[in-house]
Amino acid sequence: MVAMWIVTGGAGFIGSVLLWKLNQEGHDNMVVVDRLESSEKWKNLRARRFADYLEADDFLLRLEAHAFKGVEGIVHLGANSSTTETNASHLIQNNFDYTKRLALWCLAKKKRFVYASSAATYGDGRFGYSTDRETTERIQPLNMYGYSKQLFDVWALRQGVLPNMVGIKFFNIYGPNEYHKGDMRSVVAKAYEQIRKEGVIRLFRSYNPQYKDGEQERDFLYVKDAVDVVYDFMTKRSYKGLYNLGAGSARTWNDLARALFSALNVPPRIEYIEMPETLRPKYQYHTQADMRWRQAIKKAPPFMTLEESVRDYAQNYLAKEDPYL
């Protein structure tokens, strides 16, 4: 992979780990695009090798002015990913319109376009977790972030251009370089701090009689495994359309908590706290990626187990003075 790749959201969580993966594979001809603002995302870039960095708005103007030559494709991971963001106009502009403009440029230039959708598009899961056309058009997100991602998926589907790109519905991704995300960090990162300070992990109570406290389920996937798949999507043209990206199995928050206690050799102590009332109508009690597309691939390397990845994250990153990958 000698030609240039553009990685938006490249200073963010998944984006910076993708840069790490690309560097591991011997690639450094990347243009990194992001909005650094006053966050500490810049720290995610310190150990990475790349050709150039541009702020997101400046990049888009330059792209549409035909300033880039020799581009192989764009990996679009940049977005406002806050599930509690209430400014719908901002999310439409930042997550939908921006994505559409990048997609149209790639389509016109016949360049590879790989973009981040989200498992948040599936809402409460009542319509299942398939990426087929019927499900994609029926699902109803529970928050505006999920809807902004759903809008682009459906637009690409109805325009007939989805087969000319790759959309990735990321499930619960966690791991190093997520530290700048604040309250949107994974439970692993936040729980690690709780254990170190108080020896306890606090999880939300369940308000669904089908699930006991802490038995709400998520499809957890380590970020190192996630970027391996993204790299395949970039480099193998046989991939096209919309794909789920998770482990393909649901685990409980209690499982996650116990894995972290075990990784730290600390006796398990879990407390259940009230969920803010504003979150209760939008809360997902079960997510599980339909990963039959990957299960059909012969000799696909297995993902790390929840216990293995939590141990790697806790011991090799969170416990270090410099926790960055």
Q: β-strands 4-8, 30-34: how paired?
A: parallel
Helix ranges, the chain (H): 13-24, 56-64, 88-91, 98-109, 133-138, 144-158, 187-198, 223-235, 253-263, 292-295, 306-313
Q: Residue type at 314?
A: A
Report the C-alpha gap between 316 and 324 in whole angstroms.
Answer: 10
Question: Of 285, 296, 180, nearest to 248 (Cα)?
Answer: 296
Report the C-alpha gap between 148 and 80 in whole angstroms.
Answer: 10
Report the C-alpha gap between 204 and 115 in whole angstroms.
Answer: 31
Q: Residue type at 149?
A: K
Report the C-alpha gap between 205 and 67 in whole angstroms.
Answer: 52
Catalytic residue among 181, 190, 240, 282: 181
In angstroms, what is the C-alpha Rg of the chain? 19
Question: Of 297, 303, 225, nearest to 21 (Cα)?
Answer: 225
What DSSP line would sit under 24-50, residue for residue?
Answer: HTT---EEEEE--TTSSGGGGGTT---
Report the C-alpha gap between 287 and 119 in whole angstroms.
Answer: 8
Residue 181 falls in the annotated catalytic set: yes
The DSSP symbol for 236 reads -
Catalytic residue among 98, 115, 122, 145: 145
Report the C-alpha gap between 188 and 73 in whole angstroms.
Answer: 33
Which positions are annotated as active-site residues? 145, 181
